[in-house]
C-alpha cells in the first residue's frame, strides 16, 4: 500500500512498541503445532512489536509487506528472518507454515479481495497450523487516517468470515468482537483441520 511506503516513519511512531496484543499472541503461540514454528506474518510492517515478540518465543518469521520502507526497518532489526516485498493478494511464499498472522493488515483489502484470501491461507497453512487475523464485523468500507491521509478499511460480515474459514478447512478456536482488552480489535484465531 503506497500510503505505508510514503508514511513509514509516521506509522512506526504511531504504532510504537506497546504490546496490547500479548494475550492473543499467547493463544496463537499455544495453538502452533510445532517446535521452532515457521510463521508467515502477512502485513508485517516494521516487525515491531508482533514479529519481534514471536521471534523471542522461538518462531522463524517470514514477513510480507508491500512497503519496502517498512520492510527495511524489519530487516535491520531482525536480519536473520526472511522479509519479502509483495502484495498479500499474491503471496509468493513457499509454505507450508505452522502459523499465519495478519494483524491489522488483512482489513486493508476490499471485501471482494478478502474472500479469495482464505484459499491462500489454506494453501500456505500446514495441517494443524494456526491462523490469526483482525477484521471488521459488518460488510462495508470505512476510511481511517494515517498521518492525516485517508486509510482504507474493508470488512465482511462476521458470519461470512466464519463460513469462509469453514469452507477452507479452518476451525475457529476463539473469536472476540471489539475486544476492549486489545484496543477494541475484532480478532479471529483458527486452526487448519
Q: How confident is the model at residue 8 (pLDDT cuts 50, 70, 90)?
A: very low
Least confident of 117-121, 148-152, 158-162: 148-152
Share of the chain above pLDDT 90, in %: 80
Q: Where are the alpha helices (DSSP H) in the chain?
A: 2-6, 8-15, 22-31, 50-56, 68-77, 111-114, 117-124, 158-167
Strands 149-155 and 140-146: antiparallel
Where does CATH 3.40.50.150 sit in the chain? 96-121+131-193
pLDDT tens per residue, range 15-38 = 556 799 999 999 999 999 888 999
Residues with Cβ within 8 Å of 188's Cβ and at least 6 positions away in sequence, in order, are 131, 132, 133, 134, 135, 161, 165, 172, 174, 175
Output the pLDDT for position 2: 62
- pTM for this prediction: 0.91
According to CATH, the topology of domain 96-121+131-193 is: Rossmann fold (3.40.50)
C-alpha cell at 125: 497453512
What residue has cell string 536473520? 80
Give the separation between CA 1 and CA 131, rounded to whole angstroms.
22
Output the pLDDT for position 9: 58
Amino acid at each position: 500500500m503506497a500510503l505505508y511506503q510514503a508514511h513509514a516513519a509516521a506509522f512506526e511512531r504511531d504504532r510504537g512498541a506497546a504490546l496490547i496484543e500479548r494475550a492473543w499472541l499467547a493463544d496463537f503461540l499455544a495453538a502452533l503445532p510445532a517446535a521452532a514454528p515457521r510463521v508467515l506474518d502477512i502485513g508485517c510492517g516494521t516487525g515491531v512489536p508482533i514479529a519481534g515478540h514471536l521471534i523471542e518465543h522461538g518462531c522463524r518469521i517470514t514477513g510480507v509487506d508491500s512497503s519496502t520502507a517498512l520492510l527495511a526497518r524489519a530487516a535491520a532489526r531482525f536480519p536473520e528472518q526472511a522479509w519479502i516485498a509483495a502484495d498479500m493478494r499474491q503471496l509468493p511464499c513457499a509454505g507450508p507454515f505452522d502459523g499465519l498472522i495478519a494483524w491489522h493488515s488483512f482489513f486493508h483489502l476490499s471485501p471482494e479481495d478478502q474472500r479469495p484470501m482464505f484459499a491462500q491461507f489454506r494453501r500456505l497453512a500446514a495441517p494443524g497450523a494456526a491462523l490469526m487475523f483482525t477484521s471488521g464485523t459488518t460488510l462495508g468500507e470505512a476510511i481511517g487516517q494515517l498521518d492525516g491521509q485517508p486509510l482504507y478499511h474493508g470488512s465482511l460480515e462476521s458470519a461470512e468470515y466464519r463460513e469462509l474459514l469453514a469452507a477452507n478447512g479452518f476451525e475457529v478456536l476463539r473469536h472476540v468482537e471489539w475486544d476492549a482488552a486489545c484496543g477494541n480489535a475484532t480478532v479471529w484465531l483458527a486452526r487448519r483441520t
